[in-house]
């Protein structure tokens, strides 16, 4: 078994895989996982986890991965256990992973900006309100830092994946 430490939006998990990737343990518990890559770009993954299927898009952003599922974006960092231990011992484990570009999880209308350029935000803090399918959705900060750029205006229609806000540690 090979072990990895993942940090998904601030929640740490330990994942163990056998050499073939067939046997998986999540935080010590065996889970039934069946992954399949979809499409030719290799960014879309179908995962059947304990009988439920999840369509996940994986994109690389700066020094971490962004996983998108059902319109929600999760910032993820994966380290092997040795690298995670080195970072923990060096006091680097809880540092921000770098500049974060917050993108629109879905097409919609920017209803209201809740922060200004230069503002200091905490992880999970609301950045703006995006209306999609007649529902208002909060777009939240994936990490703590300073808002260095706001790339949209209130009242502006945006497509999925449009860059909205840039946060730097």
Q: Is the pLDDT of residue 1 over 80?
A: no
Token pair, residue 64, equals 């971490």
Spatial separation of the C-alpha atoms in residues 49 and 166, rounded to whole Å: 33
DSSP state of 151: -
pTM over 0.75: no
Token pair, residue 52, equals 């439920």
Strands (E), the chain: 2-8, 11-17, 24-26, 29-31, 33-38, 44-49, 52-61, 64-69, 72-80, 100-103, 108-113, 120-121, 126-132, 135-140, 145-150, 157-158, 163-168
**C-alpha torsion sign, points 108, 113, 118, 120:** negative
Spatial separation of the C-alpha atoms in residues 24 and 109, rounded to whole Å: 40
- Lowest mean per-residue pLDDT among 5-14, 118-127, 145-154: 5-14
Q: Output the pLDDT for position 45.
A: 84
| Mean pLDDT within 146-155 | 96
Q: Output the pLDDT for position 125.
A: 92
Q: Output the pLDDT for position 158.
A: 95
94: pLDDT confidence band, cut at 50, 70 and 90? Answer: low
Name the CA radius of gyration of the chain, rounded: 18
Q: Which of 20-34, 38-52, 76-90, 121-135 ranks highest by mean pLDDT?
A: 121-135
Q: Output the pLDDT for position 90.
A: 73
Q: Output the pLDDT for position 22.
A: 61
Spatial separation of the C-alpha atoms in residues 140 and 98, rounded to whole Å: 16
Q: Output the pLDDT for position 109.
A: 96
- HEC string of 63-87 equals CEEEEEECCEEEEEEEEEHHHHHHH
| Mean pLDDT within 17-46 | 76
Q: Is the pLDDT of residue 34 over 80?
A: no
């Amino acid at each position: 078994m090979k072990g990895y430490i993942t940090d998904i939006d601030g929640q740490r998990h330990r994942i163990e895989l056998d050499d073939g990737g067939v046997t998986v343990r999540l935080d010590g518990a065996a889970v039934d996982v069946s992954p399949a890559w979809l499409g030719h770009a290799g960014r879309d993954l179908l995962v059947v986890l304990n009988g439920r299927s999840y369509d996940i898009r994986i994109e690389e952003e700066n020094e971490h991965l962004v996983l998108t599922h059902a319109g929600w974006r999760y910032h993820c960092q994966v380290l092997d256990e040795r690298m995670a231990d080195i970072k923990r011992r060096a006091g680097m484990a809880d540092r921000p992973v770098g500049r974060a570009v917050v993108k629109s999880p879905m097409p919609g209308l920017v209803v209201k900006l809740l922060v200004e350029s230069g503002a200091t935000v905490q992880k999970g803090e609301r950045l703006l309100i995006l209306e999609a399918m007649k529902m208002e959705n909060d777009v939240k900060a994936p990490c703590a830092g300073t808002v260095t750029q706001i790339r949209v205006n209130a009242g502006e229609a945006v497509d999925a994946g449009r860059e909205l806000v840039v946060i730097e540690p």
